[in-house]
Amino acid sequence: QCLYQFLAFVPPSNESLRKPGTASVMVDTQHPLTLLLNSSVGDKDLCKIQYHFGEFGNYSLVVKTLSTSTQTVSCDLIINEGPINSYLPILFAFLVYMGILAILIAGRLLMKIDPVRNWVYKKLNPRATDRMINSELGSPNTTDSINCDPTPHPWSTASRRRLHSLDTFRGLSLVIMVFVNYGGGKYWFFKHESWNGLTVADLVFPWFVFIMGTSIALALGSMLRWGSSKWKVLRKILWRTFVLILLGIIVVNPNYCLGPLSWDNLRIPGVLQRLGFTYLVVAALELLFTRADSGTWEGRFPALQDILPYWPQWIFILVLEAIWLCLTFLLPVPDCPRGYIGPGGIGDFGRYPNCTGGAAGYIDRLLLGEKHMYQHPSSGVTYQTTMPYDPEGILGTINSIVMAFLGLQAGKITLLYKDQHKQIMSRFVIWGIVMGIISAILTKCSKEEGFIPINKNLWSISYVTTTSCFAYILLLLIYYLVDVKNWWSGAPFLYPGMNSILVYIGHQVFANYFPFKWKMQDSQSHAEHLIQNLTATTLWVVISYILYRRRIFWKI
């Protein structure tokens, strides 16, 4: 539903020289395009062709006049040079990483041979690093180092064992996030969707929020069991929130590209800011209603013991979601239809060019000011929007809180069914199915035609239910492989998962420095971009591994 945009003027042919009029243009290859040919006389539509062009292909649209009197023409699309297979670099990169993995597995098998292992140990003398410290966004450990009380506690070793699946999940999300932020090889599916829809890049931030919620449940319960008062825990929550927001505003601020940072152009929302505020709300909500003893619930419906005892929390979350729905669909926005959630610009046939994001954009512009928002939203590429719009804005924070709360639910399941792997995994499956059903209803299983489309810019509720569905299923698989069967240690994602704040801030601060970035010979080459982006991402994994081996963990 986009307005047609002027592409080129084709001059009339030169009859005396029998030379046709020609015009050369470049077109986008991400989406199918509709080419409309108009007559310069009378503005009559002569022909319309819809086609999905391929990367670096060369095409000709040959137009021939069949009847001058009726202005009838024929339009034929000819492929002069076929498009390239732009996915071959991905295949090559996959094979390279699989080769490295095969070498590592072979090395591990060799280490099981006693003479080889003894020789290596004698040469390297490695030190074990089994003792993990808390991760910075809430430890998934069921113990916490905040309490230095040496008094022994009657919990078993199994209950104190760290769940490596949570660090692995967080690390996987972070690695994909780093790769995407560095460019993702310039592939469209490693970029954020322009408006409605979902790409790989749109999955990682909500997954990070989800696992943060899971960690909150385990960390707070641990601290309270070890004797920390709720006031002491609350002070720690407030401090973490303050540091995260401060880091987001001062250190990781995209408006640095506009010059020295000043209040005039300071972007107030951001990824770390949203993480900090979401952490504050969900952690405070859990702290208010959690108990130091997480024994079995004795009430009715024991199958719902991870939900019913926490009904005040659910009421709070449902009220928050009702607020989001009311503001999104009922708040009057000047010069925009009520309930509009479109991209504005040339979308919706250009009827609402200044309505990008509807109520969400309006609230941010009203409360923050246009200069304190993100200036280059993803909607500007396809829909040519001119209004600033912040994907980490105020209204969307409500649904990020909902996302973290769904992750909190996964943490409660892990606590309530401690070491009961079948119970934990079955509940992950149930929650994944429920979230998937809700998503199917809200979206009508379509990209554009649903009641509430999946939209990362808006953080729509369907976006939350869809990504949480994927999160539950992915966490189930990692939990089964890492913590139940011990078939996988979680490497290499475990290492950045245990130093997530350092890796996230580091990859942002050093994004434009060698060896994370260098001048390329061909800026249009997927292969060169992919090599650069994968190299940078791999370097951060290596850095996090070195820090892990040296027991260096940056926590807030």
Catalytic residues: 192
| Residue 419: Cβ within 10 Å count | 13
- Alpha-carbon distance of 2 to 9, in angstroms, equals 20
If you write DSSP's letter for every residue of 140-189 in order, what string do you get? -SSS-TT----------HHHH---HHHHHHHHHHHHHHHHHHTTGGG-GG
All residues at 6 or more sequence positions from 148 whose CB lies less than 8 Å from its CB, including other chains:
none
Q: Which residues have a Cβ under 8 Å from the Cβ of 165 and sit 6 or more positions away?
A: 475, 478, 479, 481, 482, 483, 490
Are 36 and 73 contacting, i.e. CB atoms less than 8 angstroms apart?
A: no
- What is the rounded CA–CA span in Å between residue 297 and residue 309? 8
Q: How many Å apart are CA 403 and CA 464, to the nearest integer?
A: 6
Q: Which of 338, 315, 316, 336 is nearest to 328 (CA)?
A: 338
Distance separating alpha carbons of residues 32 and 52, to the nearest angstrom: 4
Alpha carbons 464 and 210: distance in angstroms, whole number: 10
- Identify whether the C-beta of residue 203 lies closer than 8 Å to the C-beta of residue 529: no
User: Which residues touch 90 (CB under 8 Å, ≥6 apart)?
Assistant: 185, 187, 530
